[in-house]
Structure 1
Amino acid sequence: MATILDQILADTRALVAERKALTPTAALERRSAFRAPTLSLARALRRPDGPATIAECKRASPSEGVIRREYAPADIARSYKQAAAAALSVLTEPTHFQGSLDHLAQVRAAVDLPLLRKDFVVDAYQLIEARAYGADAVLLIAAALDPAEMTDLLDAARDLGLGVLVEVHADAEVDGFDLDRVGVLGVNSRDLQTFEVDLGRAERIFARLPERIVRVAESGIRTADDAARLRGYGADAFLVGTHFMRQPDPGRALAAFRRETALALADASRQPATP
């Protein structure tokens, strides 16, 4: 039976074919953002003052439906920067998440933080789009790519000066690509078939990673206790979207999350060790 990921990937391939026909690579390369220097996502997420947050701009998702009806990505991005986000993630997938490349460009014009284009990348053309619209990094989803595709896209991203967040959903996916090519790895705690959340998945996968890899915990993070638990598993950063998007002021929600997480971590550090 086809999963929602299968449908999204099929829709993405069709859309990429359409965009290729409408906008040649040369036209993308003429955009000023294509030639601008990129910011390091990995460096931004290694913070001496505690775990970093990648705050997400998104209007909708397949599991949640419309999350934020009044959606102004640039305003949200500015509020996130004011609340000390380390980096921003911008959904650009149009059919299932109601995103667009224009949202990415709006956020790029609004803030100078590292920007992650969050989409279902299946073609190197999408990397050129990301660069042309102001992204500093892209998401590559292990479940959406075979090992050869992952390798080719990692190499193509590097050649374009783009960082990469490689996302895995299952322990076995870590064996499907060369970890030596990966600088930032995210564990999505949401099962792509059932959409159930298992934060313990991050514990298992983070334990397998070399220390040099930046570890990002994704999905299902709603409370400071969730964040503290994931930090205990080795998370360097959290990617949070839906929780912030549901709040009247996403930036204020981020500030509260960071403050409450710091308190939860301090409290955890005072707890006696389990014998």
Structure 2
Amino acid sequence: MTFMHQRPAMTYAPEGVEQFPDPEVPETTTPPIKDPAVETTDRSDVLARICARTRVDVEQRSQIMSLKEITLRAREVTAPTRGFGQALQHLTADRQVGLIAEIKKASPSAGVLRPNFNPVEIALSYQAAGATCLSVLTEGSCFHGSTDDIRAVREACSLPILRKDFILDPWQVHESRLIGADCILLIMAALTETQASELIGIARGLDMDVLVEVHDADELNRALALDTSLIGINNRNLRTLKTDIQTTLDLAPMVPPDRLVVSESGIKTQDDLLKVGEVGASAVLVGESLLREEDPGQAARRLLGFV
């Protein structure tokens, strides 16, 4: 793959009146863990524990707003989504590797990344740096995220937004449309093929794209049977939290050319970006290495080779 640099920031916001946020959507009931890196010292299966918390949270919030009600509300949204997959497809056509820049306050592997967390300020710096899309964490306990973060970022920026969370239930898919997400993440390690297929169908019916995340060859084969063109290869083992970009180098060549590959986690330098691009990645999803810097936008420019 040939790489072109010094491209301007690309935006895909369609015309139309925004309808977000829906003030009736109940907030998460899961309180943030003060220091998730300490709480998850026993890393035998971090994914399983977060998913367990998520199921409890969804069950509680669905008592406030039923699945029937949230489904009706989501179907009434007429503001168009911003074309997350379309933005990545443009990059592939231009033989570029794009940046999905992540916004999060904390993580189980790193603890609190930015005590003075301002998602809008970070989003604007990423957009100015040339990011293609944004990823916003909304999981509350380990990532200190909130659906309000997507609402605020969408109002301030025009880039397509991925809702990064542990989506396990149809209720969450409808909620994602109501808070302004353009794409959702589905983690194959947490879902059966039947569950993933159902959630994809709901998302597509609401005009949202779906990034299906895999960690190994078995999960990749399962993902390729699903009706989505976006394949995320996570270089972080969600059970141990260790990262190794070799995961992308091994799996990306196995992805058919009609799918778009996103390499997630462990991307720290432009050299890392170039390596995964050479094996077929259309974009990288990067958060921690950018958010550790005083100026995340400057760090994004450096990663893209603009400085």
Relative to the length of structure 2, the TM-score reads: 0.81
**Among candidates 65, 70, 85, match of residue 116 of structure 2:** 70
- Across the two proteins, how many residue pairs are aligned to each other? 261
**Aligned: 1:130 with 2:176:** yes
Other-structure match for 1:237:
283
In the other structure, the counterpart of 1:185 is: 231
CA distance in 1, matches of 2:150, 2:58: 17
- Partner amino acid for 2:288? T
Q: Tell me which protein shows more helix as a share of its residues.
A: 1
1-structure distance, mates of 2:251, 2:228: 14
Alignment check: 8 A CA contact 1:55 1:85 kept: yes
Query: Aligned partners of 2:234, 2:299: CA distance in 1, in Å?
Result: 21
Q: Does the alignment pair 1:16 with 2:58?
A: yes
SS across alignment from 1:97: coil
Superposition TM-score, scaled by structure 1 size: 0.90
Whether the 8 Å CA contact 2:214–2:223 is kept in 1: the answer is: no
SS at match of 2:195: helix
Q: Is the 8 A contact 2:101 2:133 kept in 1?
A: yes
In structure 2, stretches of 5+ residues that fail to align are: 1-42
Which residue, 167, 180, 194 being the options, matches 2:240?
194
Distance 1:54 1:177, change over 3 A: closer
Indicate conservation of the 8 Å contact 1:33/1:132, yes or no: no
Alpha-carbon separation, structure 2, partners of 1:17 and 1:201: 34
**How far apart, CA to CA, are the structure 1 residues paired with 2:235 and 2:274?**
15
**Partner SS state of residue 196, structure 1:** coil
Q: Could you tell me how far apart the structure 1 residues matched to 2:142 and 2:278 are?
A: 33
**1:7 is aligned to 2:49:** yes
Native 8 Å contact 2:123 2:153 kept in 1: yes
Conserved 8 A contact 2:108-2:142 = yes
Q: Tell me, yes or no, if structure 1 residue 53 matches structure 2 residue 99.
A: yes
- Work out the percentage of aligned pairs sharing the same amino acid: 39
Shift in alpha-carbon separation, 1:180–1:153, aligned structure 2, 3 A: closer
Tell me, yes or no, if structure 1 residue 259 matches structure 2 residue 302: no
Letter of the structure 1 residue corresponding to residue 239 of structure 2: Q
* Separation of aligned partners in 1, 2:158 and 2:110: 29
In structure 2, what is the Cα distance between the partners aligned to 1:218 and 1:72? 23
Q: 1:273 corresponds to which residue? A: none
Gap regions ≥5 residues in structure 1? 264-275
| 1:117–1:137 contact (8 Å) kept in structure 2 | yes
Question: In the alignment, is the contact (CA less than 8 A) between 2:270 and 2:302 conserved in 1?
Answer: no
Retained in 1: the 8 A contact 2:75–2:206? no
Q: Deviations over 1:32-85 (max 9, x none)?
A: 993310122111113116211000000000111101111111111111111111
Structure 2 CA distance for partners of 1:160 and 1:31, relative to 1, 3 Å: closer
**Alignment partners' CA distance in 2, 1:203 and 1:88:** 23
Aligned to 2:209: 163
Q: What residue in structure 1 maps to residue 265 of structure 2?
A: 219
Shift of residue 180, structure 1, vs aligned partner: 5.2
Of 35, 39, 47, 2:78 maps to: 35
SS in 1 for 2:254: coil
**Hey, what's the Cα distance between the residues in 2 that align with 1:257 and 1:177?**
29
Residue 249 to residue 5, structure 1, CA distance change in 2 (3 Å)? same
**How many Å separate the matches in 2 of 1:84 and 1:253?**
11
Q: 1:224 to 1:32 in 2, by over 3 A?
A: same
Partner of 2:166: 120
- Alpha carbons 2:70, 2:171 under 8 Å: kept: no
Superposed displacement of residue 29, structure 1: 5.2
Determine the structure 2 residue equivalent to 1:90.
136
- The CA distance in 1 between the partners of 2:123 and 2:278, in whole Å, is 28
CA deviation digits over 1:79-126, x for unaligned, max 9?
A: 111111100000000011000101111111111111000000000111
What are the superposed Cα offsets for residues 205-238 of structure 1, whole Å, 9 maximum, x if unpaired?
2111110111100000111111111111111100
Contact 1:117 1:130 in 2 (8 A): yes
Distance in 1 separating the partners of 2:70 and 2:206: 16
Conserved 8 A contact 1:29-1:132:
no
AA aligned to 2:84 is L
